[in-house]
Structure 1
Amino acid sequence: MPEQGDFARRILACVESIPPGRVMTYGDVAEYAGTRSPRVVGNVLAADGGTVPWHRVLRHDGSLAPHLIDEQRQRLLSEGVRFVGTKVDLARFRWDGISG
């Protein structure tokens, strides 16, 4: 299963590269890492145990992980990320994987 390990490394490298104060969706990370499955991204992050800034990865609509909502929200707020209601303002804080 070498390609699974390669996918995991690419996913973790992508998440590690998201600058503080910026976010990506699970789908963004999947596309960046070369897979079509946002679910794979979630599984890799869950298995990782928090060595990368997981809190910068959101659902497609900017909502937070329900089981981590308080911690994720606090971490994002501390980095300057702002919300519109309960969702991150993706138009303003979404990272394209290139620019700073």
Structure 2
Amino acid sequence: MSGRVFPAFYDVVRRIPAGKVATYGQIARLAGMPRCARLVGYAMAACQDPAVPCHRVVDRFGGTKAAFDTFAPGTQRALLEAEGVDFRLDGTVDLEHCLWSPQT
């Protein structure tokens, strides 16, 4: 199943602009598979294509994941901060300001 599904998720993630993030559930909905947020996580962890900005995908609370800390702890956060993504004091992405809206 992943061979057919993962590319649909990757196509959505490629559209997320720098400075914005999307949630796993949002990616699943935009790919037409609204109940597959966990599968999106598997797809992001398995992605080997540097053209897919997997670091821009966070959990529903704006949390980053250790799976994206490929070089050192905090890699995902550092990549997002370098793009101008705001974080709250609790270490989560400020979704109110940084959540991607594909209509814009």
Task: Give the alignment's TM-score, normalised by structure 2.
Answer: 0.85
Deviation at 1:97, TM superposition (A): 1.9
Equivalent residue for 1:66?
66
Q: CA RMSD in A?
A: 1.5
- In the alignment, the residues of structure 1 paired with residue 45 and residue 93 of structure 2 have an alpha-carbon distance, to the nearest angstrom, of 21
What is the one-letter code of the residue matched to 1:9? P
Deviation at 1:48, TM superposition (A): 1.2
What is the one-letter code of the residue matched to 1:46? A
- In the alignment, the residues of structure 2 paired with residue 32 and residue 59 of structure 1 have an alpha-carbon distance, to the nearest angstrom, of 15
1:1-100 aligned within 5 A: 1=1, 4-35=2-33, 36-51=35-50, 52-67=52-67, 68=69, 70-85=74-89, 86-99=91-104
Structure 1 unaligned blocks of 5 or more? none
Decide which structure has greater strand share: 1
- In the alignment, the residues of structure 1 paired with residue 4 and residue 32 of structure 2 have an alpha-carbon distance, to the nearest angstrom, of 10
Deviation at 1:50, TM superposition (A): 4.6
- In the alignment, the residues of structure 1 paired with residue 57 and residue 49 of structure 2 have an alpha-carbon distance, to the nearest angstrom, of 12
Deviation at 1:83, TM superposition (A): 0.5
Give the paired residue count.
97
Identical positions, percent = 37
Residue deviations 1:3-38 (CA, integer Å, cap 9, x gap): x43321110011111000000000100111111111
